Amino acid sequence: MTTASRKRVLSGMQPSGLMHLGNYLGALENWKALQENYDCFFFVADWHALSTNYADTSRIREFVRELLIDWLAAGIDPKRSTVFIQSHIPEHAVLHLLLSMMVPVSWLERNPTYKEKQDEIKEKDLSTYGFLGYPVLQAADILLYKPDFVPVGKDQLPHLELTRELARRFNDIYKKSVFPEPKEHLTKFPKVLGTDGRKMSKSYGNTINLSDAEPVVRQKLKTMVTDPARVRRTDPGNPDVCPVYEFHKIYSPQELQAQINKDCRTAAIGCIDCKKLVADKMVERMAPMWDARAALTSHPSRIDEIVQDGSARAEKVAKATLAEVNEAMKI
């Protein structure tokens, strides 16, 4: 199937820190699969990182670079996907500005993430125009490339619905069908817990990063919390409440999972041995990525070439869409 005949998919990721297993298992594995059947546009959303990190931008360039290395090492193929950086395409900012002229403030205030994030991130001042309006930039990111599908989890559906509402509003005001309404490509995200048993998150400092070396991964797993009720080695455990067992579900074959489940409940295996077994399986899966990372890091010009090529392809699409927008608005 040629690229031209494929349906288009668009997705992005913020460079707000080093990429961890939650990001990989929740998004990147899905992106890799989408490459097989869709014309994929994947971008680093560096401007979005400013919505919560505007006061400290010292590591954004580093995180952009690391994110790109992780994507490529994990199997995102620049020959099959358009890989680019949001800020390299100024049309994102222009469309964001134009859409912001017509979006009702009430639409932004009802965004569930707006209040949730403010409650969650108390140490930062998020009462900014940029944070309130980031769904408009998100809509511009999407509509600029007229994708057929956007990969989302159920919790992200309100964001996509706002994008569709803005597309309808623009088409209605200017009496031209410039923007098709993108459909959701619903993604099931696996349950990925951090080393402290909570959801794996940069803000919790409980992550296993794709860039972590093997000894670091093993050490993090060694210190990971287990069944809190299992105090002594001779105590039977409960895999259903053990964060380490969640990794067995992801990385270990069915037979090993069943054996661990049984042995844990009868105290035939201790937590240290259980962690070593899952560490071995995790390292086995991560080793090819580490090798690919090392190769990319030793050839930095290769990353620059990929971004340059991807940006050129993205820019062509973005400029064509913005020309349609300007024509519809008569500006």
- Tell me the catalytic residues: 117, 199, 202
236 to 193, 244, 250, 262: CA distances (angstroms): 22, 15, 23, 10
Residue with tokens 């108390």: 122
Residue of 116, 82, 110 lying closest to 12 (CA atoms)? 82
What is the rounded distance in angstroms from the CA atom of residue 48 to the CA atom of residue 65?
16
Residue with tokens 């992801």: 250
Q: 34, 9 in Cβ contact below 8 A?
A: yes
- Extract the tokens encoding 280: 């071995």
What is the rounded distance in angstroms from the CA atom of residue 251 to the CA atom of residue 257?
9
Strands (E), the chain: 8-13, 39-44, 81-85, 149-152, 183-186
Residue with tokens 């890799």: 32
Beta bridge partners of 81: 40
Beta-carbon contacts of 44 under 8 Å, excluding residues fewer than 6 positions away, are 12, 13, 15, 64, 67, 68, 84, 85, 86
